[in-house]
Amino acid sequence: MLISNIEIIPNKKIVQHLGLVQGSTVRAKHAGKDIMAGFKNIFGGELSSYTELLQESREEAISRMSQQAAALGANAVINVRFSTSAIAAGASEILAYGTAVVIED
Amino acid sequence: MDVLFQLGVFITLLFLGYVFGRRAEARHYKTIRMRERAFRKIVVLNERFPPPHLCQHQSTMVCGNVVVSVDYFKVVVAGLRSLVGGRMTSYESLLDRGRREAILRMQNEAKNLGAEAVINLKFETSQISGQAGQGLGSIEVLAYGTALIPVIPE
Amino acid sequence: MSNYPSENPQLPEDINISTSHPLKDFLVLLVGVGCIVGLLVLSISLLATYLSPLVPFSWEHQVLESWQQPAVDEPYQQEFERLLRVFKLVEKQSELETDMTLHIHHMDSEIPNAFATLGGHIFVTQGLLSQVQSDTGLAMVIAHEIAHVKHRHPIQALSRGVLIQLVMAVILGDNGMANSLISPSGTMLALKFNRDMEYQADETAVAIIKRSFETLDGADEFFRIALEEHGSSGWSDVFQTHPDMAARLVRIRQALK
């Protein structure tokens, strides 16, 4: 599955647009990591546990979006956009959406 | 006895949240599926440029928003989940419902304008906290895009 | 022919939402979190039980040293003297460690009650004095409170409570909903230790009484009256700081024989 965040995929021809697909997930880290992040807040620096959390979520959102696209018979998703929102303390929602297309060389 | 009373209130709320939350969700999904079938003709894409055959159409912005609230059961499950970590399944269906409902309302507005398609769709999700600091109160989902309306020749 | 769709696609439903039943999810989480909280409370309680006796009694005493018994009202003067007399009798036989000092206080309250707190301060209410007529009965109650002091129960209970509250606050943070579920269950577990303390105090109290009096008739007076008035608490045992009165009375009577 090719993913692109522009309207085209270079060197490929879009033969069919199929429609909107989206993938989303809500995840949280366990309380231990939340506490460590709280301490880290005092000193500053990267909160690696949350970086990891968001990265995992983003991957899952993309994989869910790809599943939807595959179900429509697409082989690429173009114009992909992300949207992140904090849903509850320590949990975040990641949404990925784009247009499923069929491409040819 | 005080602890017993607290526990009783808690279990009652949990039970009510579960029963009514499940029912509301099932009903909401039913209407979403029905309306999605009815609005299928209004194509929604998130591409920036209109399809070639709709290039001559008029354009105007349309949006649809919805605020959905969680039930007590979902909040408790999510609260427990946030201690352990992992996927918050209880909120997933809530967000899914919110997003589909927002698109439907946007499509409805487009339909009233006589549009054939909506392009450049964007989503915006925000949290509207019911009780401050008590986790998720409710969420607002906004879907907006550009509706393409055929020009009626004079 | 346009390569754009003429209508929106019909997408499969189960990609963005999980199909597992919410109740199953809830039960798995509840059991998991329950086990973790249980282990945590258990280890904190054991820690408090073993570590707090290491705190010197003099520290405890310093905190509440300035606590003086206010003058007892005229009508209760006689009762107070009786309390002092029985207290002195029991104190002699209590075999406390040398650095422990006891202070007895009379409380002007109609509710029959007695309790021990930090620094060896023991409080007995007027209500209890008028309810328990026999000296052995009163001695048993005082001996029970002295036993609490002897075993360092007040500081154990205090440090356990403070530690549990602290750890819960750190873990739960502002997670309001989990708080309303977990805090009561943590407290309930902690209460089990309170009940064990009561049994231990009862045992020691009986031993003290046996040394102080020749006849032990009426030593269970207060417990008997309490059982008659409130009845057996039965299944709600789990929620009480004190053990079921009926079970306690049986134990005390056995020990008195």
Facing B46 at nearest CB: one of A33, A79, A88? A79
Question: Is the pLDDT reported for residue B26 higher than 50?
Answer: yes
| Inter-chain residue contact B40 with C174, CB threshold 8 Å | no
Note down the domain range covering C183: 29-52+112-256
Residue C17 lies in a domain: no
Q: Measure the CA–CA gap between B89 and A25, rounded to whole angstroms.
A: 8
3-class DSSP state of C184: helix
Contacts of C103 (CB under 8 A, 6+ apart): C67, C69, C119, C120, C121, C122
Residue C100 lies in a domain: no
Which residues, numbered 55 to 94 in chain A, qualify as contacts with chain C under a Cβ-Cβ cut-off of 8 Å? 64, 67-68, 71-72, 89-90
| Inter-chain residue contact B82 with A90, CB threshold 8 Å | yes
Supply the DSSP symbol for C214.
Answer: S
3-class DSSP state of C14: coil
Rounded to two decimals, what is the model's pTM? 0.76
Residue C184 near residue B3, CB atoms below 8 Å = yes
Residue B29 near residue B101, CB atoms below 8 Å = no
| Inter-chain residue contact B77 with C32, CB threshold 8 Å | no
* Residue ranges of domains in chain A, CATH in brackets: 2-104 (3.30.110.70)
**Structure token digits, residue B28:** 């909401």
Task: Determine how β-strand B86-87 pairs with β-strand A13-28.
Answer: antiparallel
Q: Measure the CA–CA gap between B36 and B42, rounded to whole angstroms.
A: 10
Facing B3 at nearest CB: one of C8, C176, C188? C188
Q: Where are the domains of chain B?
A: 2-149
Residue A100 C-alpha, separation from nearest chain B C-alpha, in angstroms: 9
Among the residue ranges B48-52, C47-51, C227-231, the one predicted with the least confidence is C227-231
Question: Is the pLDDT reported for residue C118 higher than 50?
Answer: yes
Residue A77 near residue A100, CB atoms below 8 Å = yes
- For residue C35, is it left (φ>0), alpha (ψ between -120 and 50) or beta? alpha
What's the pLDDT score for residue A90? 67
C257 burial class (0-12, 13-18, 19+ CB within 10 angstroms)?
Answer: exposed
**Span A13-33, pLDDT tens digits:** 999 999 999 999 998 888 777
Distances (CA, A) of B22 to B25, B120, B143, C39: 5, 34, 25, 33
Residue C7 lies in a domain: no
For residues B7-13, average pLDDT: 85
Residue A78 near residue A8, CB atoms below 8 Å = yes
**Span C76-110, pLDDT tens digits:** 888 888 888 888 888 888 888 777 888 888 888 88
Facing B89 at nearest CB: one of C6, C20, C179? C20
Question: Is the pLDDT reported for residue C235 higher than 50?
Answer: no
**Structure token digits, residue A80:** 């992909």
| Inter-chain residue contact A87 with B88, CB threshold 8 Å | yes
Phi, psi of C55 (to 5 degrees): -70, 125
Residue B153 C-alpha, separation from nearest chain C C-alpha, in angstroms: 22
| Inter-chain residue contact C3 with A89, CB threshold 8 Å | no
**Mean pLDDT score of chain B:** 87
Supply the DSSP symbol for A86.
Answer: E
Is the CATH number 3.30.110.70 carried by domain B2-149? yes
Residue C40 lies in a domain: yes
Torsion of CA C109, C111, C117, C119, to 10 degrees: 30
Question: Is the pLDDT reported for residue C130 higher than 60?
Answer: yes
Helix (H) or strand (E) holding B143: strand B138-149
Look at the block and give the residue holding tokens 């249980």.
C38
Contacts C174 to A, Cβ<8 Å: 89
Residue C191 C-alpha, separation from nearest chain B C-alpha, in angstroms: 11
Phi, psi of A78 (to 5 degrees): -110, 165
Q: Give this complex's ipTM.
A: 0.85
Please choose, from the candidates B86, B87, B76, B102, the residue with its C-alpha nearest in 3D space to the C-alpha of residue B14.
Answer: B76
Residue C72 lies in a domain: no
Look at the block and give the residue holding tokens 């099932």.
B26
Residue C144 lies in a domain: yes
**Structure token digits, residue C144:** 């029970």
Q: Measure the CA–CA gap between C164 and C119, rounded to whole angstroms.
A: 22
Contacts of C234 (CB under 8 A, 6+ apart): C244
| Inter-chain residue contact B136 with A98, CB threshold 8 Å | no
**Structure token digits, residue C88:** 């002195």
**Span B103-121, pLDDT tens digits:** 999 999 999 999 999 999 9
| Inter-chain residue contact C29 with B135, CB threshold 8 Å | no
pLDDT tier for residue B100 given thresholds of 50, 70 and 90: very high
| Inter-chain residue contact C8 with B80, CB threshold 8 Å | no
Q: Show contacts of C226-234: CB within 8 Å, 24+ apart.
A: C226/C112
**Mean pLDDT score of chain C:** 80
Residue B148 near residue B116, CB atoms below 8 Å = yes
Residue C107 lies in a domain: no
pLDDT tier for residue C241 given thresholds of 50, 70 and 90: low
Distance of CA B93 to the CA centre of its chain: 9
Facing B43 at nearest CB: one of A19, A27, A33? A19
Number of domains present in the structure of chain C? 1
What's the pLDDT score for residue B127? 82
Residue C146 lies in a domain: yes
* C33 in contact with chain B, both atoms CB, cutoff 8 A: yes
Structure-model confidence comparison of residues A96 and B5, the more confident one: A96
For residues B118-145, average pLDDT: 79
Residue C36 near residue C140, CB atoms below 8 Å = no
Facing C3 at nearest CB: one of A15, A72, A89? A15
What is the percent of chain B where pLDDT is above 70?
A: 92
